Chain A
Amino acid sequence: MISNLRTIGLTFLHMFRKRETIQYPEEKVVLHPRWRGRIVLTRDPDMGERCVGCYLCAAACPVDCISLQATEDENGRRYPEFFRINFSRCIFCGYCEEACPTYAIQLIPDFEMAEYQRQDLVYEKEDLLIDSEGKYPGYNYYKVAGLASGVKGKGEGTNEEPPVDIHSLLP
């Protein structure tokens, strides 16, 4: 009896609280920067594709919804020939972003992806790639990687000695 009265009382008090329900879609939800929503592929500061096709996102994905094929341009720079995410399987866990060594794959604060056809939830590279650095500006993987791929020459990267002269006998 007391419990019932208490419940009625509490419910009554809620009438004077601030409203949680919003008038979506007229009114938009406030999403925080770290909110895990739609997955995008970003570009490096030189606007080159960040993704190097290392397959780590695909391996980390618990529902195996990422599939890609790495290929190389004439300079030896790796990029994905195709990159496919099946969003009808994606659980937005963010493991792919965590696994990505180049900050290419990122989850952004956007959830408005509903479709009438499930087939339309399959995103290809054209749908995923954006012209932005996303959450991690300034990072260019090929500047810190050892190999030369058209971005920098051998020994010209961050924290690199010039190439060894193997004919030199100096210590």
Chain B
Amino acid sequence: MAVIYIDDKAYEVKPGKNLLETCLTLGFNLPYFCWHPAMGSVGACRQCAVKLFKDEQDTNGRIVMSCMEAVKDNMHLSVDDHTAKAFRSQVIEWLMTNHPHDCAVCDEGGSCHLQDMTVMTGHTYRRFQYKKRTYKNQYLGPFINHEMNRCIQCYRCVRFYKDYAGGKDLDVFAAHNHVYFGRAQDGMLENEFSGNLAEVCPTGVFTDKTLKEHYTRKWDMTMAPSICQHCSLGCNIIAGERYGELRQITSRFNGEVNGYFICDRGRFGYELVNSINRVQQPLIRGKIPDAVDKQSLYNHLNEILSNTKVIGIASPRASLESNFTLMQLVGKENFYQGISETEAQLMRTILHTMNSGQIHTPSLKETEKADAVLVLGEDLTNAAPLLALALRQAVRKKTIENAGQINIPSWHDAALREFAQQEKGELFIAYPTQTKLDEIASDSRHKSPDDIARLGFAIANYLNIMAPAPEGMDDDTLKYARQIADILKEAERPLIICGTSLYNEAILKAASNIAFALDTKDKKASLCFVVPECNSMGLAMMQAPSLNQAVEVLEKGEADTVIILENDLYRRGSKKDIDNLFNHCKQVIVLDHLHNDTTNRANVLIPVGTFAEADGTIVNNEGRAQCFFQVFMPKNENLRESWRWLDEFRQFKNGTSPEDLTTPGDLMDEMVGLMSQFKGAETVAPPADFRIYGQKVPREPHRYSGRTAMLANINVSEPKPPEDPDSALSFTMEGYKGIPPSPLIPFYWSPGWNSVQSINKYQTEIGGPLLGGDPGKRLFPETPVAENAFLNNIPPAFKPSPGEWLIVPLPHIFGSEELSIYTPGIAERSPKPYVAISKHDAENLNISESDIMQVQIRDQNYALPARIKEELPQGLAGIPFNIPGLSGIAWPAKGILTKAVI
């Protein structure tokens, strides 16, 4: 620890950091623009000036930029020095000379870093009387709005977009006081993380365009801590509501998971909550009218549930609570996972490895620190976007470490990039097609799923001779395997990433073998699994049989009624199989929030709340249980949590009265009591009766407006505010005003810090964990519970069979996910259906780009335009995974491709 003196007061601080982050950690309000905790310092904005003194005697001192100054022991500086203060306010006055009078119509207003910093430095009166510079704006696609006049040239946008996220199409143009941040031409921002520009930009140049559609100031939103539901990573988000509509998603800092950023699918994929496609009322089909009230629904269900043999079909996108209550309702022996047998088997393999305790499943934060990475069979940018962002940081780790040897600190961004040039860490990718991460990979190979697995087995075999070796490998691949094995062995923090998206079990086994082979006494290899959906892991941990078994039971006539929980089965298997399932059912009871093909088959359809209208716990890909909280109480009282409905239905089974309702906390206790594998999940968030000084944590900021007017058009007497018996959060602005426990942070705000940058005040140190520790609880053992036994079952090498193609699913960040597609912008960016074929096959079939091809998968026929991919191995074809119009395929699939006859 170093001791520094700030305004003659001694502080003990961590050496190696820069002065700015040190001052902010200590609680000083020091203004800044260009520095960002995740991106380091460049010293461009000259805003964070402090006075540095030579020693104790020095009274003159000199002005330095605190972000560019490393902490040294026995340093004397002054933040409050009047010349430093004058310097800072002068700088902001210059920055403001060209800043327009836009705050009233600027979406950043109220959460604007520039507003905060201007007030902080005391620049309250504009002396500048002359003309202001103006720019023309650009169209940047459906997510981001551009208003260049407001720019203060801090360069944060390009530093994030190009340097941090690997974007190519945003840059800085022109010179001197004319610099322009935008694209070379109007057009869609291509990068998958462009939404973060709205948070990274300290002013309103880049703002959230979807928020603009229904604009609300930050202070007017009812917000709650939530978890993103659009992939398996479980990024933490803040969801905000106004007038009964979900308005905005922002990133919620979690040092272990997503850090400061989220991807565009997570940020903009929230429109499903406001969709007109929502199920609004309980429906009993065949009754006239079919929309019924609660009582007639209960009467009807009472009849069905007490007379028939019922099975329950769970869902990987429903919370643990909902799945568990379904299990309790139908009984463990009648409870099925709502996923195909193939997927269930993949999840079992993953669970087997994770339960062994032999491997370490890294958090996203840890993946950023890996020094050698091997990706087997995953297109991360599309399947788990933030993991791709983490890998972009991981490949820089080695150069940052090397730079440390010549005394370049890790926060000195400009110097680091100068030092690193094009040098990159080790990243190897094996995937059938080209992925976006290939550009930063040391080497990438395009192979069929089985060959990827064989490569993995070969690497494991090189690492440990006990591991089974694949036979008949060619020399080139063996050489490649040896190269990777050597690099992984050398590495201090090797990381292997694999997943379920190719529906190939052998890949998972090969990856496990590599991790087992790397396992030594002092070093545990990290193995990261990408799983299909937000609660796939949680559902798999419940160890229920798959959908295929449910079909068998129905076919045998052992059951005739199904309850389907938040699951569109037509995305889980071929249309024929699912139709077959429904044809064997007498009664189909579906609980879901949006109308889809499955709800169309329902005899009884029950509306439920989305993540914004429900509390719940989900388990992410690393086995971290995390809680999301209800954002608002919907006006429609039919929109209740699935677990609340199902819990009430228990009365028809065992006669408990509906008044004995349980809170999600009680449900979790009951669950952990019955299934010890979830132990710890009940402690993720403080219980519902948790209070701070007798107060709840308010979901609304203290400036929340319009309480006595927003409902006055309906009735001038204000209704009682809704109560929340399920959590320690309240739906009002009354309650504890300080910093709540980290799982309960509904929004970031601190006096003088209205923007998202107020996160600084919630962390133990800048960029470090939140006060009280990052939320979430890992459920898997870290200590070995079993001897590591290498997994066998090496598939034979892939050989193209004439006339038949192996069809691989190609995930797309926009389009492949079921719920985010309801956002018009995401639907706009979703690809149109296509079939990708190799160049060789295309030549054989006499196909050129965009020719229509006939694709026959089992008994389904699709006419799809061809996309020729040079790198795709022969005999393989790719189809975008589950995009609109292309669901209902049982993966893995084989198909026949022919040129369509027109």
Q: Name A's B-contacting residues (CB within 8 A).
A: 52-56, 58-59, 61, 63-72, 78, 84-86, 88-89, 101-102, 118-119, 121-122, 124, 141, 144-147, 149, 154-155, 159-164, 166-169, 171
Taken together as a complex, chains A and B put the C-alpha atoms of A129 and B156 apart, in Å, by 42
| A103 shortest CB reach to chain B, Å | 11
A sample of 18 cross-chain residue pairs with beta-carbon separation below 8 angstroms, ordered by A number, consists of: A52-B104, A54-B103, A54-B109, A55-B705, A64-B707, A66-B706, A66-B709, A68-B706, A86-B712, A86-B716, A101-B104, A122-B709, A122-B713, A145-B102, A146-B149, A154-B137, A166-B135, A166-B173
Q: Which of B212-220, B354-362, B598-606, B755-763 contacts A (4 or more CB under 8 A)?
A: B212-220
In the complex, are the beta carbons of B705 and A67 less than 8 A apart?
yes
| A66 shortest CB reach to chain B, Å | 6
Task: Choose among A86, A145, A146 the residue that contacts B708 (Cβ–Cβ < 8 A).
Answer: A86
| B186 shortest CB reach to chain A, Å | 13
| B114 shortest CB reach to chain A, Å | 13
Taken together as a complex, chains A and B put the C-alpha atoms of A68 and B214 apart, in Å, by 11
Q: Encode contact with A along B703-723: 1 for CB under 8 Å, 0 otherwise.
A: 111111110110111000000
In the complex, are the beta carbons of A154 and B104 less than 8 A apart?
no
In the complex, are the beta carbons of B176 and A159 less than 8 A apart?
no
In the complex, are the beta carbons of A164 and B104 less than 8 A apart?
no
Taken together as a complex, chains A and B put the C-alpha atoms of A164 and B133 apart, in Å, by 7
Q: 5 additional contacts, CB 8 Å, given A59-B703, A163-B134, A164-B178? A: A54-B109, A55-B705, A59-B219, A154-B135, A171-B176
The residue on B at minimum CB distance from A100 is: B104
In the complex, are the beta carbons of B134 and A164 less than 8 A apart?
yes
Task: Choose among B105, B134, B705, B712 the residue that contacts A52 (Cβ–Cβ < 8 A).
Answer: B105
In the complex, are the beta carbons of A67 and B706 less than 8 A apart?
yes
Query: Which residues of B are found within 8 Å of A67, using beta-carbon distances?
Result: 705-706, 709-710, 712
Q: A52-B104, A119-B716 are in contact. Are A147 and B709 (CB under 8 A)?
A: no
Query: Which residues of B are found within 8 Å of A64, using beta-carbon distances?
Result: 704-709
Q: A59-B219, A59-B703 are in contact. Are A124 and B135 (CB under 8 A)?
A: no
Query: Which residues of B are found within 8 Å of A84, using beta-carbon distances?
Result: 709-710, 712-713
Taken together as a complex, chains A and B put the C-alpha atoms of A24 and B697 apart, in Å, by 52
Interface size classification for chain B: 35 or more
Main secondary structure on B side of the interface with A: loop
Leading 8 A-B pairs by shortest Cβ distance: A146-B100, A67-B706, A67-B709, A58-B705, A54-B104, A146-B149, A155-B134, A166-B174
Query: Which residues of B are found within 8 Å of A161, using beta-carbon distances?
Result: 131-134
Query: Which residues of B are found within 8 Å of A88, using beta-carbon distances?
Result: 716
The residue on A at minimum CB distance from B245 is: A69
Query: Which residues of A are found within 8 Å of B696, using beta-carbon distances?
Result: none
Q: Encode contact with A along B82-103: 1 for CB under 8 Å, 0 otherwise.
A: 0000000000000000001111
Task: Choose among A65, A122, A145, A162 the residue that contacts B100 (Cβ–Cβ < 8 A).
Answer: A145
Taken together as a complex, chains A and B put the C-alpha atoms of A71 and B712 apart, in Å, by 20
Taken together as a complex, chains A and B put the C-alpha atoms of A91 and B760 apart, in Å, by 38
The residue on B at minimum CB distance from A68 is: B706
| B96 shortest CB reach to chain A, Å | 12
Taken together as a complex, chains A and B put the C-alpha atoms of A85 and B103 apart, in Å, by 23
Q: A101-B103, A155-B134, A164-B180 are in contact. Are A122 and B716 (CB under 8 A)?
A: yes
Taken together as a complex, chains A and B put the C-alpha atoms of A162 and B134 apart, in Å, by 6
Task: Choose among A55, A63, A122 the residue that contacts B217 (Cβ–Cβ < 8 A).
Answer: A55
Taken together as a complex, chains A and B put the C-alpha atoms of A70 and B212 apart, in Å, by 9
Taken together as a complex, chains A and B put the C-alpha atoms of A15 and B176 apart, in Å, by 80
Query: Which residues of A are found within 8 Å of B212, using beta-carbon distances?
Result: 72
Query: Which residues of B are found within 8 Å of A169, using beta-carbon distances?
Result: 175
| B241 shortest CB reach to chain A, Å | 13
Q: Does B150 contact A (CB under 8 A)?
A: yes
Q: A146-B150, A171-B176 are in contact. Are A86 and B220 (CB under 8 A)?
A: no
Query: Which residues of A are found within 8 Å of B100, using beta-carbon distances?
Result: 145-147
Q: Does B635 contact A (CB under 8 A)?
A: no
In the complex, are the beta carbons of A89 and B215 less than 8 A apart?
no
A-contacting residues, B152-184, CB 8 Å: 173-176, 178, 180
Task: Choose among B104, B136, B174, B707 the residue that contacts A168 (Cβ–Cβ < 8 A).
Answer: B174
In the complex, are the beta carbons of B705 and A53 less than 8 A apart?
no
Query: Which residues of B are found within 8 Å of A101, using beta-carbon distances?
Result: 101, 103-104
Q: Name B's A-contacting residues (CB within 8 A).
A: 100-105, 109-110, 129-137, 147, 149-150, 173-176, 178, 180, 212, 214-217, 219-220, 243, 703-710, 712-713, 715-717
In the complex, are the beta carbons of A86 and B709 less than 8 A apart?
yes
Q: Which of B101, B134, B135 has the most CB of A within 10 A?
A: B134
In the complex, are the beta carbons of A59 and B705 less than 8 A apart?
yes
Query: Which residues of B are found within 8 Å of A118, using beta-carbon distances?
Result: 716-717
In the complex, are the beta carbons of B178 and A168 less than 8 A apart?
yes
Q: Which of A52, A63, A119 has the most CB of B within 10 A?
A: A119
In the complex, are the beta carbons of A89 and B709 less than 8 A apart?
yes
Query: Which residues of A are found within 8 Å of B709, using beta-carbon distances?
Result: 64-67, 84-86, 89, 122
Query: Which residues of A are found within 8 Å of B706, using beta-carbon distances?
Result: 58, 64-68
Taken together as a complex, chains A and B put the C-alpha atoms of A52 and B215 apart, in Å, by 12
The residue on B at minimum CB distance from A76 is: B105
Taken together as a complex, chains A and B put the C-alpha atoms of A84 and B712 apart, in Å, by 8
The residue on B at minimum CB distance from A104 is: B104
Query: Which residues of A are found within 8 Å of B150, using beta-carbon distances?
Result: 146
Q: A72-B212, A122-B716, A169-B175 are in contact. Are A154 and B705 (CB under 8 A)?
A: no
In the complex, are the beta carbons of A119 and B136 less than 8 A apart?
no
Query: Which residues of B are found within 8 Å of A66, using beta-carbon distances?
Result: 705-706, 709
In the complex, are the beta carbons of A63 and B178 less than 8 A apart?
no
In the complex, are the beta carbons of B174 and A164 less than 8 A apart?
yes
Query: Which residues of B are found within 8 Å of A78, using beta-carbon distances?
Result: 105, 215
Query: Which residues of A are found within 8 Å of B713, using beta-carbon distances?
Result: 84, 122, 124
Taken together as a complex, chains A and B put the C-alpha atoms of A167 and B175 apart, in Å, by 9
| B703 shortest CB reach to chain A, Å | 5
In the complex, are the beta carbons of A159 and B136 less than 8 A apart?
no
In the complex, are the beta carbons of B132 and A146 less than 8 A apart?
yes
Query: Which residues of A are found within 8 Å of B173, using beta-carbon distances?
Result: 166
| A144 shortest CB reach to chain B, Å | 5
Taken together as a complex, chains A and B put the C-alpha atoms of A78 and B212 apart, in Å, by 10
Taken together as a complex, chains A and B put the C-alpha atoms of A121 and B716 apart, in Å, by 8
| A42 shortest CB reach to chain B, Å | 15
Query: Which residues of B are found within 8 Å of A168, using beta-carbon distances?
Result: 174, 178
In the complex, are the beta carbons of A160 and B104 less than 8 A apart?
no
The residue on B at minimum CB distance from A117 is: B716
The residue on A at minimum CB distance from B701 is: A59
In the complex, are the beta carbons of B101 and A145 less than 8 A apart?
yes
Taken together as a complex, chains A and B put the C-alpha atoms of A160 and B175 apart, in Å, by 20
Query: Which residues of B are found within 8 Å of A89, using beta-carbon distances?
Result: 708-709
Task: Choose among A102, A124, A166 the residue that contacts B178 (Cβ–Cβ < 8 A).
Answer: A166
The residue on B at minimum CB distance from A149 is: B105
| B318 shortest CB reach to chain A, Å | 33
Taken together as a complex, chains A and B put the C-alpha atoms of A58 and B705 apart, in Å, by 5
Query: Which residues of A are found within 8 Å of B134, using beta-carbon distances?
Result: 146, 154-155, 160-164
Taken together as a complex, chains A and B put the C-alpha atoms of A124 and B130 apart, in Å, by 40
Taken together as a complex, chains A and B put the C-alpha atoms of A66 and B147 apart, in Å, by 29
Taken together as a complex, chains A and B put the C-alpha atoms of A78 and B145 apart, in Å, by 15
Q: A61-B705, A146-B149 are in contact. Are A122 and B712 (CB under 8 A)?
A: yes
Taken together as a complex, chains A and B put the C-alpha atoms of A149 and B709 apart, in Å, by 29
In the complex, are the beta carbons of A147 and B102 less than 8 A apart?
yes
| A152 shortest CB reach to chain B, Å | 11
| B840 shortest CB reach to chain A, Å | 45
The residue on B at minimum CB distance from A57 is: B705
| A137 shortest CB reach to chain B, Å | 19
Q: Which of A63, A67, A155 has the most CB of B within 10 A?
A: A67
Taken together as a complex, chains A and B put the C-alpha atoms of A59 and B109 apart, in Å, by 12
Taken together as a complex, chains A and B put the C-alpha atoms of A118 and B717 apart, in Å, by 9
| A155 shortest CB reach to chain B, Å | 4
| A120 shortest CB reach to chain B, Å | 9
Query: Which residues of B are found within 8 Å of A141, using beta-carbon distances?
Result: 104
Taken together as a complex, chains A and B put the C-alpha atoms of A163 and B138 apart, in Å, by 13
